[in-house]
Chain A
Amino acid sequence: MNTDFEKELRQLTIFQNEIKKLQTGQIDIVTKLNESKFVLQELKLLPKTAKVYQLVGPTLLEVTLNEAKENVENRLDLLGKEEKKTLEIIKETQQKHDKKKNELIAFQRKLMQPKNVPKKK
């Protein structure tokens, strides 16, 4: 019985670690998202005659304002989708984790009961 309990406990800790990793990944995505929103805001404030350059590797390329806006908007879309995905995965793993926890608690109660029964007799 005890080894089964240990196995379940290990599963629980695995779930916890997964959730932590996903949450840190989520924080990264959110910061990138905020940065891109900020860039888009700045680009919108620019007059149409402004020159915009994009750093691609070691080269600085001139891009049109519309191209730059499209670029950033696409990036925002992708990041938003990624964020939703990771949120869903976090929810799922959290549900699995809570289920395991309840199972473990029920398991613990079962382990405790046989000790109580002889006293009642």
Chain B
Amino acid sequence: MTNKSSFDLNNLNPLQLNSLKEQISSEYQKYRQSYTQLLEIKSLYSNTLFSLESLQPENLNQPILAPLTESLYLPGKLTNVKSVLTDIGTNFFVERSVEDAQEYFKRQTKIVEEKAQEVLKTMKQNEESLKAVNTVLERKVYQQQKKFVGQQQQQQQQQKSLKKIKKINKPFKKKNLFF
């Protein structure tokens, strides 16, 4: 995605550097979003693991409140402490034992963690490239300002010297008349 390595930052003018900066920061936002999403999924998995722990054989026939809707619960008894249905994606569910389900979720958390670490890496790279672009941009803007100030000073000096020349030229005309 980053083409920065193929050309030198110094060859770009401030406008191009600015647009590059915006591009990099929008990429950074996207990476940040996916990172937070992955962290959410990870906490979801840890919650499921926690609730799986309560599915122990000693909890058989314990009273539970089963959700019917988001605000409606039914009292009932825990009859199945052996198998659970795990959602593996694309509308597929697998019936597993409680231990297998726990293993499954531990595996999933590992995978999600690895992905989150990858995203974090790319985020850091992104930050570094953003810093580099910023430093080059600042330097160029400073150079431009210096140039501008220098040009202004030159113009002022030129104007002053012009005024002096005008003053000197006027009396010369009068002297020529005498000669």
Contacts and interface: CB of A to CB of B under 8 A. Distances in A.
B3 interface: no
B88 A42 contact: yes
B93 interface: yes
A53 to B, nearest CB: 4
Contact of A39 (B85, B90, B95, B96): B90
B94 interface: yes
Interface in A51-74: 51-56, 60, 68, 72
B92 A68 contact: yes
Contacts of B5: none
A94 interface: no
A38 B92 CA distance: 11
B91 interface: yes
B95 A50 contact: yes
What's the interface size class on B, roughly?
Answer: 10 to 19
Contacts of A86: none
A55 B92 CA distance: 6
Interface in A67-91: 68, 72, 75
Contacts of B89: 35-36, 38-39, 42
Contacts of A75: 90
Interface in A29-55: 32, 35-36, 38-39, 42-43, 46, 50-55
Nearest to B86: A42
Nearest to A63: B92
Contacts of B94: 42-43, 46, 50-53
B178 to A, nearest CB: 47
A118 B84 CA distance: 86
Interface of A: 32, 35-36, 38-39, 42-43, 46, 50-56, 60, 68, 72, 75
